[in-house]
Amino acid sequence: MRRPLVRDDLKSMEGYHSPQVDVEVRLNTNEAPFPPPDEFQEAFLNEVTKVDWNRYPDRLAQSLREDLAALHQVQPEQVFVANGSNEVLQTICLTFGGHGRTALTFEPTYAMYGQIARTTQCRVAEVQRDEAFKVSIDVLERGIETEKPDLMFLCSPNNPTGTPESSAVIEAALGLSSAAVVVDEAYGQFADFTALDMFGSHDASDSLIVTRTFSKTWSMAGVRLGYCIAPPWMLDEFQKVVLPYHLDSVKQIAGQVALRFQDQMEKRVTQIADERKRVSESLTLMELDVWPSQANFILFRTTPCDLSGNEVWKRLLDRSVLVRNCSGWPGLEDCLRVTLGTEQENTIFLEALQEALQ
């Protein structure tokens, strides 16, 4: 039997790869190591009994968007919610990308920008960050001038390097081009900087989009909920490309209930930031190359210890510790990225690493 032909441009593409292996200590996908508080479960189950199962969900997720708007002191018309920030990114690519258009990325960065943009048949232009993995104004200017992007992705703090962005770079991006400027703040609460302030402080640009997710700081990766803050005019456009009723009723409730426990979320963030300091110091003492991180993960290079990244990654796996192997990514040769887990998990990781480096 003959198979139907897959789109030509899909042939050279690969799907998302992050091994889901059964190990004791899983520090490879930047999830929160703790579940939401017990009170969340109780409140959520209570609210779920009110769902009209036979009815479609509120298509605009009005209540959830109002709560998010209050959280960030913006208007509900500036909030768009979707199934994880990946669906937000896809919606942005469907709106501003597509055939004949260009998306600009600053490498190394989150691989899904390029991946999602390409699935909309958008051309992807990559420019390199500097040695410290920063986007310099110079790099930004050159990228904009040569590639003439229709949209660009700045990740703050950047995955997988942990580097935060600055308002100078974002203002330059907004000033130098008419592209949609996406600032992905999946790890925003772990950092000193947020581009969200730029919506309030001055006449917010017509092209700034800041994305956030419940997957990391809110301990809700299993729920698949994300959102962005954007100028109100974009929301009408997003509604044209997103599927009707894409956000189910149960998820809308989960998001609203989660927001009631903001204090606990912030406590978890502080706890992880403390661990980040401890683990980062230990890695430095092991004489690895360690990049300063403002996220819930740390990037390090193994070569100062005369071992390849692949080898160290395997030795860790032998000890039932899974981290992200970034060794094969351009610009990240021999680099591993470890997600910060609980204090106990981090200690097990550090001990396993110490052994692996012998």
Residues that bind ligand PLP (CB under 6 A): 30, 84-86, 110, 155, 159, 184, 186, 213, 215-216, 226
CB of 209 to ligand PLP, least distance (A): 13
Minimum distance, C-beta of residue 227 to ligand PLP, in the bound complex (Å): 9
**DSSP secondary structure of 332-346:** -TTEEEEE---HHHH
* Cβ nearer to ligand PLP, comparing 190 with 352: 190
How many whole angstroms from its chain centre is CA 207? 20
Query: Closest separation between CB of residue 304 and ligand PLP, Å?
Result: 26
Which are the contacts of 70, defined by CB distance < 8 A and separation ≥ 6? none
Name the residue nearer to ligand PLP (CB basis): 217 or 280. 217
Cα dist. 52→12, 49, 245, 247 in Å? 44, 9, 14, 14
Cβ–Cβ < 8 Å for 149, 117? no
| Residue closest to ligand PLP when measured from CB atoms | 84
Phi, psi (deg, nearest 5) at residue 180: -70, 125
Helices (H), 202-246: 232-241
Q: What type of residue is 235?
A: L
Nearer to ligand PLP by Cβ, of 67 and 282: the residue is: 67
Sequence-ordered list of residues with C-beta below 8 angstroms from that of 244, at least 6 positions apart, any chain: 59
In angstroms, what is the minimal distance from the CB of 151 to ligand PLP? 15
Quote the least distance from Cβ 105 to ligand PLP, whole Å: 11
Cβ-contact 256, 69 below 8 angstroms: no
Cβ-proximal residues to 169 (8 Å cutoff; 6+ apart), any chain: 135, 136, 137, 140, 154
Q: CB-wise, 91 or 213, nearer to ligand PLP? A: 213
- To ligand PLP, the closest distance from the beta carbon of 81 in angstroms equals 11
Nearer to ligand PLP, 65 or 319 (CB): 65
Q: Which is nearer to ligand PLP, 216 or 301 (CB)?
A: 216
CB 188 within 8 A of CB 212: yes
Please, what is the minimum distance in Å from the beta carbon of residue 225 to ligand PLP? Answer: 7
Q: Of the two residues 86 and 95, which places its CB atom closer to ligand PLP in the complex?
A: 86
SS3 348: helix
